[in-house]
Amino acid sequence: MGGSRSMIFADCSSSTTARLVPFGRSRLLCGGGALCARRRLHVGVGPSLPASLRTTLTVHSSPSPSLPVMNVSCSATMASEASAKVIDGKAVAKQIRDEITGEVSRMKDAIGVVPGLAVILVGDRKDSATYVRNKKKACQSVGINSFEVHLPEDTSEQEVLKHISVFNDDPSVHGILVQLPLPCHIDEQSILNAVSMEKDVDGFHPLNIGRLAMRGREPLFIPCTPKGCIELLHRYGFDIKGKRAVVIGRSNIVGMPAALLLQREDATVSIVHSRTKNPEEITRQADIIISAVGQPNMVRGSWIKPGAVIIDVGINPVEDAKSPRGYRLVGDVCYEEACEVASAITPVPGGVGPMTIAMLLSNTLTSAKRVHNFQ
């Protein structure tokens, strides 16, 4: 994208924003609250990519209020032995869920407390409903209690605030999230700010973000997708301290907190955004790239420093007549080209995405432990 091509950045959605199901609605796979301990528990690096593969990919993103129709071509000739290793987010997320299951069971046996997560869904968006169902299933899989309130599209803001207040006061609920997007007559910030900071498992409360930004302060919760990105780096044993990192995108949900987390890990951090001059040059200096802009295949092989580690947060539905669904999912990074240059990369799907709910569950467990002083 440099030179004559204009760069278009899309703000990513929250973990509670539904995605994946309808073509053209979602632009990023992001996440809300949570995360696990900082211990370096490494998992094996995923398999190398297929050899001797020539791929030509042409994608067309659908119209959206924030994005024009785009034609993005990504083609690359794979070397006989691709250099990049796959960072298997699905495997890491499963490992984390297994750890959570054990901790939930231990807590229940020791003090009779089961962590609880409450979700408020307003309206009848099929994508939102699907994501809420996925959260419910994930809670059940690890033994966390799940509470759900499904309200009509025309529900008043006061009614939503009333339900938040009930969950704030309920000792069996340790985490609360409001499924986004909300109907346009409801003020999103007022709703998110009403969630108790102690139950803000999405990590969106201004005080949690403020603590994240300050040295010597610790937030109660951190937005899950950026924390999940860091956890992937940790569990694969990639060193962050002293490295040059570039975050592409500056949203409140992913880009900004990801940059803050990398800084906390003693990386030297640059943020590339819609007003950045020479983004390709800046990105090419990075040892670690976290891309979260929601533009299919925007980051090309020429943007990448040889040996860099790439965390691709983007999950973009693009038209594909060969797919039964009529679309398929690609990241912000041209995967085929990146695999020629990077040392490791997250796939799309199967990279950052599976970490989202795993981190949310972990934050819910952390909240319950904190309330009951359970170590």
The CATH number linked to 171 is: 3.40.50.10860
Q: What is the CATH number of the domain that holds 253?
A: 3.40.50.720
Per-residue pLDDT of the chain (375 residues; tens, 9 = 90+): 444 344 555 544 344 433 333 333 333 433 333 333 333 333 333 333 333 323 333 333 333 333 333 445 565 444 435 589 999 999 999 999 999 999 999 999 999 999 999 999 999 998 888 889 989 999 999 999 999 999 999 999 999 999 999 999 999 999 999 998 899 999 999 999 999 999 999 998 999 999 999 999 999 999 999 999 999 999 999 999 999 999 999 998 899 999 999 999 999 999 999 999 999 999 999 999 999 999 999 999 999 999 999 999 998 999 999 999 999 999 999 999 999 999 999 999 999 999 989 999 999 999 999 999 999
* Residue 123 and residue 96 in contact, taking contact as beta carbons nearer than 8 Å: no
* Residue 224 and residue 34 in contact, taking contact as beta carbons nearer than 8 Å: yes
Same domain for 332 and 257? yes
List the alpha helices (DSSP H) in the chain: 89-111, 126-142, 157-169, 188-194, 206-213, 224-235, 255-264, 279-283, 335-341, 353-371
Same domain for 174 and 288? no
Catalytic residue among 202, 287, 320, 332: 202
- 218 is a domain residue: no
- 88 is a domain residue: no
DSSP3 helix / strand / coil % (the chain, rounded to 5): 35, 20, 45
Of 142, 167, 201, the last residue of a domain is 201
Nearest-CA neighbor of 132 among 360, 318, 352?
360
d(CA 250, CA 298) in angstroms, rounded, equals 16
Q: Which is it for the CA torsion 176, 329, 294, 47, positive or negative?
A: positive
Place of tokens 């539905």: 317
Provide the domain limits for residue 120: 112-201
Same domain for 262 and 348? yes
- 87 is a domain residue: no
312 is catalytic: no
- Could you count the other beta carbons within 10 Å of the beta carbon of residue 56? 10
d(CA 296, CA 67) in angstroms, rounded, equals 11
Query: What is the Cβ-side half-sphere exposure of residue 354, based on CA atoms within 13 angstroms?
Result: 18
Rounded alpha-carbon distances, angstroms, from residue 359 to 37, 89, 176, 246:
10, 12, 14, 23
Same domain for 258 and 330? yes
- 138 is a domain residue: yes
- 282 is a domain residue: yes
**Cα-flanking dihedrals φ and ψ of residue 212, to 5°?**
-60, -35
Peptide bond into 306 cis (omega under 30): no
Same domain for 164 and 197? yes
The pLDDT of residue 180 is 87
Tokens of 349: 């799907």
Ramachandran region, residue 346 (left: φ > 0; alpha: ψ -120 to 50; beta: rest): beta
Query: What is the Cβ-side half-sphere exposure of residue 119, based on CA atoms within 13 angstroms?
Result: 30
Burial class (CB in 10 A: 0-12, 13-18, 19+), 336: buried
Same domain for 178 and 244? no
Same domain for 186 and 249? no
Same domain for 164 and 194? yes
- 229 is a domain residue: yes
202 is catalytic: yes
Amino acid at 360: L
Same domain for 244 and 196? no
- 127 is a domain residue: yes
| CA angle in degrees (0–180, nearest 5) for 363-249-254 | 5
Same domain for 228 and 325? yes
Same domain for 176 and 234? no
Catalytic residue among 11, 85, 88, 135: 135
The pLDDT of residue 240 is 98
Of 201, 234, 268, the last residue of a domain is 201
Go through the chain and tell me how many residues it has. Answer: 375
Burial class (CB in 10 A: 0-12, 13-18, 19+), 9: buried
Catalytic residue among 11, 85, 88, 179: 179
- 136 is a domain residue: yes
Q: How far apart are the first and last CA of the chain?
A: 49
- Number of structural domains in the chain: 2
Same domain for 265 and 347? yes
